Amino acid sequence: MLISAPMKNRRAQLSPTLLGGLFFGIALAGVLFLDWGELRLAFLLLVYCLLIIGSRLDQIADLLERIDRRMAAAGSPGPDKTCGAHGTVPEQEPPP
C-alpha cells in the first residue's frame, strides 16, 4: 500500500518515525555531551508529544477532508444540510 500511496501520504506515514529518531538523537547528544538533567529531557519529551499529536491531528483532518470531497462528489448532502448542530434544522412534522 505504501508504494501506491501518493507522496504526501507516504511522507505523513514516515514523519513520526523520523521525528522520533531525531528527538532520540537530540536527547542522547544532550545527555552525553551537554550534561542535560531530567528537567530538560522532560521538556524535550513534552515538545515531542505535542509535535506527534499535531501531526496525527493533521492526518485526521486530511482524512475527513477526503471523505467530505467523496460525499460531495457522490451527491449526498454534507453536514450543513443534515443536522441541526451543523446548520439548518430539518423540518419535522407536528405531533398528531
Q: What is the pLDDT of residues 42-71, one digit of tens each?
A: 999 999 899 889 888 888 998 999 998 888
Query: 3 lies in a domain?
Result: no
Query: 94 lies in a domain?
Result: no
Query: 20 lies in a domain?
Result: yes
Indicate the pTM of the whole model: 0.56
Query: 44 lies in a domain?
Result: yes
Query: 47 lies in a domain?
Result: yes
Q: What is the DSSP letter of 95?
A: P
35: left (phi over 0), alpha (psi -120 to 50) or beta: left
- What is the number of alpha carbons within 13 Å of residue 24 lying toward its C-beta? 6
Range of the domain at 29: 12-73
Query: 24 lies in a domain?
Result: yes
Query: 90 lies in a domain?
Result: no
Q: How far apart are CA 57 and CA 55, in angstroms?
A: 5
Number of domains in the chain: 1
Query: 87 lies in a domain?
Result: no
